[in-house]
């Protein structure tokens, strides 16, 4: 998946549209990171640095926050080093999510989602309401579509999260 995403034609197709860039390429990179981490053997030393998944989820939320900044998107498009960093950090965020999710437990997960989902809503609103183009590389229509998509994704994520509370399970993996 990572190799496919890195193919120049696929990359430019996805990055040519702001909505595809943020709402398709980013999640796919996160998924690739998740799958990579799934294939790795469990490392106890790593988990020492990631008690209750806090460090991992914090890192993932910081990475997501950074790549929602319009200037960062512009830089990724104009500078290949930043583009490489984007791939790497999103992969790492995906891996961090995988390594942290199980041990995080309901509260740390809730805190992570309670931060990331409203953040996506606010950024979506900013993209929709900003009176000017906020990315040099994208037109206002792109920005509007990306903003609306972020809002929709955040609302859908919130609904799924809430519904998960109703799923019958006695297993809350972590205590945090």
Partner 1 sequence: MNMQNEMPAVGAVKVYAAISGVVILLMMLFGLVMRMTQGQILPIEPNVFYQLMTAHGIGMVAIAGLGGSAVMWHFLGKYVNLRAGFAWANLAFFLTGVVLVLGGIFLGGFAAAWTFLYPLPANGMGMWGKHAAAAYMGGVLLVGVGMLLFYLESARAIIRKYGSFAKALGWHFLKSGQDAPPATVIASTVVTIINIIAILIGAVILTMMLINLYVPEIAIHPLLAKNLIFLFGHVFINSTIYMAVIAVYEILPKYTGRPWNVYKPFVWAWSATCLMVLTVYPHHLLMDYAQPLWMHIMGQIVSYTSSLPVLALTLTATLGSIYRSNIKWDLTSALLVLSIFGWSAGVIPAVIDGTIAVNQVMHNTLWVPGHFHLYLLLGCVTMILAFTNWIANKEQAAGFSGLEKAMLWVFAISAFAYALMFLLSGQASVPRRWAVHLPEWLAYSQVASLFAAGVVISAMAIIVRAMGGIIRPARQA
Give the binding site for partner 1 (CB under 8 A): 105-107, 110-111, 114, 117-119, 121-122, 125-126, 129-132, 158, 162, 165-170, 172, 175
CA separation (Å) from 141 to 11, 45, 71, 130, 174? 20, 47, 17, 12, 43
Comparing CB distances to partner 1, the nearer of 42 and 167 is 167
Distances (CA, A) of 13 to 6, 33, 137: 11, 21, 14
**Smallest gap, in angstroms, from Cβ of residue 133 to partner 1?**
13
- Minimum distance from residue 9 beta carbon to partner 1 (Å): 36
What is the C-alpha separation between 135 and 132, in angstroms, rounded?
9
Q: Using CA atoms, how far apart are residues 129 and 143, in angstroms rounded to an integer?
A: 10
Nearer to partner 1, 33 or 147 (CB): 147
Give the shortest CB-175-to-partner 1 separation in angstroms.
Answer: 8
Nearer to partner 1, 89 or 100 (CB): 100
């Amino acid at each position: 998946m990572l190799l496919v995403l890195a193919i120049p034609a696929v990359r430019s197709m996805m990055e040519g549209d702001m909505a595809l860039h943020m709402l398709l390429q980013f999640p796919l990179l996160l998924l690739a990171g998740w799958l990579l981490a799934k294939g790795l053997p469990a490392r106890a030393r790593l988990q020492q640095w990631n008690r209750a998944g806090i460090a991992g989820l914090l890192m993932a939320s910081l990475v997501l926050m950074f790549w929602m900044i319009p200037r960062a998107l512009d830089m990724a498009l104009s500078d290949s080093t930043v583009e490489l960093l984007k791939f790497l950090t999103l992969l790492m965020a995906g891996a961090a999510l995988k390594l942290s999710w199980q041990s995080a437990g309901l509260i740390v997960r809730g805190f992570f989602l309670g931060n990331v989902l409203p953040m996506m809503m606010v950024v979506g609103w900013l993209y929709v309401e900003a009176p000017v183009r906020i990315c040099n590389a994208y037109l206002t229509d792109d920005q509007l579509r990306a903003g609306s998509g972020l809002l929709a994704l955040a609302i859908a994520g919130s609904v799924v999260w809430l519904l998960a509370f109703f799923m019958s399970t006695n297993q809350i993996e972590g205590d945090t």
